[in-house]
């Protein structure tokens, strides 16, 4: 019984030590700036490289140490976390609607956030392509091939993933163009397409691992950069990239989260961070990670890795995300109508 008393005491002591250690960890050097970049799934490699470049540049220019922490997940889910209190100084999400949500729920960003940075606050673009197994055994060449019976299509859940939404929009846009803007035909096409989807992962990276690692499915509808990354990681001997005839110009936007930076006093650093994405060095890193840079010179330099696909924008066909988001992806929207979970 003395043993119990003793171990209780020593337990308390070690707990106290742990607490102190814990608080040391969480309060490292108050004079350095900490930024949290809440981002979507496929940007992991991009920002890992970009953050280092920015921190170095910021130190030389201002003499201030800045550390950038990263959080990644499905774009919609990440937006939800920021709304629920995840204190991201900046958000770099998959599509504008997710940042609009930050304004609509809790006024975390201004309504005109998209005017704060050049090019509608989209420092890079991308598109949607297909990744297929080596040698393309199912002969997938374009969108109509995806709705053939027996084809398994891997794409993430549009409710939680921006990639999933761009995929949906790309497919819908193709169907509109192929059927003289006939909405009911587009709906038929989308219905048939999602019938061929065996699983909906919550984020683009989840879908990629499903296709690449778990080897499920015949075709992955993916971000162009995600497709090239898989290509780079696993080699050309396992996969092939197929460019569809028509696709969407995906514009992943960035924003400073006003409410957070004002509370933390990090507005200057956060703004500088996002501005750095537009510099030649930032654009170069973007291109190297297979995102399409908006700087024409950098784009020209890397143009070989970006094939010419006929790209439409969400504004042209759908009147922007403000219109498309509620129409397709709200509860009871078109996606809910056409997709029955298996």
Count of helices and strands (H, E) across the chain:
17, 11
Residue (107 or 297) nearer to another protein, CB:
107
Task: Give the pair of three-digit tokens for residue 246.
Answer: 């028509």
Q: Which stretch binds another protein (CB under 8 A): 20-28, 157-165, 241-249, 316-324?
A: 20-28
CB 208 within 8 A of CB 222: yes
Q: Which stretch binds another protein (CB under 8 A): 18-26, 183-191, 299-307, 331-339?
A: 18-26
Q: Say whether 113 sits in a helix, a strand or coil.
A: helix
Question: What is the C-alpha separation between 95 and 230, in angstroms, rounded?
Answer: 22
Q: Does 32 bind another protein (CB under 8 A)?
A: no
Strand partners, 73: 40
Residue (45 or 315) nearer to another protein, CB:
45
Give how far the C-alpha of residue 292 lies from the chain's centroid of Cα atoms, to the nearest Å: 14
Q: Does 106 bind another protein (CB under 8 A)?
A: yes
Task: Give the pair of three-digit tokens for residue 230.
Answer: 């898989």
Residue (26 or 184) nearer to another protein, CB:
26
Q: Say whether 156 sits in a helix, a strand or coil.
A: coil
Q: DSSP label at 219?
A: E
Q: Does 73 bind another protein (CB under 8 A)?
A: yes
Selected binder of another protein within 10, 14, 52, 245 (CB under 8 A): 14
Selected binder of another protein within 63, 85, 150, 341 (CB under 8 A): 85
Judged by CB under 8 A, the number of residues near another protein is 32
Query: Per-residue x/- marks for another protein, 213-232, CB under 8 A?
Result: --------------------
Selected binder of another protein within 136, 179, 209, 279 (CB under 8 A): 209
As measured in angstroms, the least distance from the Cβ of 213 to another protein is 8
Q: Does 41 bind another protein (CB under 8 A)?
A: yes
Sign of the four-CA dihedral 188, 190, 193, 197: negative
Q: Does 235 bind another protein (CB under 8 A)?
A: no
Task: Give the pair of three-digit tokens for residue 171.
Answer: 């497919």
Question: What is the C-alpha separation between 51 and 35, in angstroms, rounded?
Answer: 10
CB 248 within 8 A of CB 172: no
Task: Give the pair of three-digit tokens for residue 67.
Answer: 């550390």
Largest CA distance in the chain: 85
> Which among 220, 56, 51, 62 is positioned nearest to 130, based on CA atoms?
220
- Determine how β-strand 219-223 pairs with β-strand 124-133: antiparallel
Report the chain's terminal Cα–Cα distance, integer Å: 57
As measured in angstroms, the least distance from the Cβ of 320 to another protein is 26
As measured in angstroms, the least distance from the Cβ of 262 to another protein is 12
Selected binder of another protein within 40, 75, 101, 205 (CB under 8 A): 205
Q: Does 105 bind another protein (CB under 8 A)?
A: yes
Q: Does 26 bind another protein (CB under 8 A)?
A: yes
Residue (45 or 57) nearer to another protein, CB:
45
Binding-site ranges for another protein (CB under 8 A): 1, 4-5, 11, 14-15, 18, 21-22, 25-26, 36, 41, 44-45, 69-73, 81, 83-87, 105-106, 205-206, 209, 233
């Amino acid at each position: 019984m003395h043993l119990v008393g003793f171990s209780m005491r020593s337990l308390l002591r070690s707990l106290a030590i742990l607490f102190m250690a814990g608080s040391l960890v969480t309060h490292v050097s108050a004079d350095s700036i900490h930024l949290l970049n809440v981002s979507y799934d496929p940007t992991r490699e991009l920002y890992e490289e970009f953050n280092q470049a920015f921190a170095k540049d910021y130190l030389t220019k201002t003499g201030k140490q800045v550390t950038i922490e990263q959080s990644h997940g499905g774009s919609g889910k990440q937006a939800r976390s920021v709304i629920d209190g995840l204190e991201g100084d900046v958000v770099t999400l998959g599509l504008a609607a997710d940042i609009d949500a930050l304004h609509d729920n809790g006024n975390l960003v201004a309504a005109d956030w998209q005017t704060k940075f050049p090019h509608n606050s989209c420092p890079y673009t991308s598109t949607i392509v297909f990744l297929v197994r080596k040698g393309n055994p199912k002969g997938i060449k374009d969108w109509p091939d995806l709705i053939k019976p027996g084809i398994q299509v891997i794409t993430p859940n549009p409710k939680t993933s921006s990639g999933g939404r761009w995929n949906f929009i790309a497919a819908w846009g193709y169907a509109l163009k192929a059927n003289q803007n006939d909405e009911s035909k587009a709906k038929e096409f989308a219905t048939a397409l999602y019938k061929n989807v065996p699983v909906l992962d919550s984020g683009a990276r989840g879908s990629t691992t499903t296709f690449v690692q778990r080897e499920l499915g015949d075709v992955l509808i993916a971000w162009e950069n995600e497709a090239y990354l898989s290509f780079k990681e696993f080699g050309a001997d396992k996969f092939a990239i197929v460019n569809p005839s028509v696709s969407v110009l995906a514009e992943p936007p960035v924003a400073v989260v006003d409410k957070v930076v004002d509370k933390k006093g990090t507005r200057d650093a956060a703004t500088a961070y996002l501005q750095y994405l537009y510099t030649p060095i930032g654009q170069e890193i973007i291109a190297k990670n297979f995102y399409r840079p908006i700087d024409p010179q950098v784009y020209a330099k890397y143009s070989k890795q970006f094939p010419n696909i006929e790209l439409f924008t969400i504004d042209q066909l759908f009147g922007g995300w403000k219109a498309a988001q509620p129409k397709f992806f709200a509860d009871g929207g078109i996606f809910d109508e056409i997709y029955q979970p298996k």
